[in-house]
Amino acid sequence: MSILPILKWPDPRLQQVCAPVAEITPQIETLAADMLETMYAAPGRGLAGPQVGELLRMFVMDVGWKEGRPDPLVCINPMLQEIGEDRADTEEGCLSIPGVTATVNRPTQVQMVWTGLNGGRFVQSFDGFAAVCVQHELDHLDGVVTFDHLDPDARAALMAEYAAA
């Protein structure tokens, strides 16, 4: 396994829509293992393909590992299947925009379907921080970063903060 370099905003690859993973190959398995190792080393709770320069619809996440409850997920070709009506503001950070957090309003519950490394289809509901993480990583697969969720004034202020860091 290897720790991969994480792309930093404004790298143009972070703004591109990713291609579906056609099949699970040994290269995809290695990429998933490397992405998990990279995420833990960063240290983060989620990491999407484009953040490591791979424009593929896949991400890894583990929202419990920092609290001693590791539960790593490798999500290939993920899609939201259901979106809850309740919304909340949460503070989000991003490994590709280090040192900056932004308040983003998102649904508090989502249901996602994805393919696992074993080729199986998974369906799971996520709520709270896990729902935020899923949506944040899915955004990366569609070329969306945290800045894109902000109104123009908040965006300009955070971009200036990021540029000064």
Active site annotation includes 37:
no
- In this prediction the pTM is 0.96
Give the residues across from 56 on adjacent strands.
19
Domains of the chain: 12-164 (3.90.45.10)
Interval 75-107: pLDDT, tens? 999 999 999 999 999 999 999 999 999 999 999
Interval 123-147: pLDDT, tens? 999 999 999 999 999 999 999 999 9
Determine what percent of the chain is predicted with pLDDT higher than 90. 96
Spot the catalytic one: 29, 92, 137, 161.
137
Q: What is the pLDDT of residue 124?
A: 98
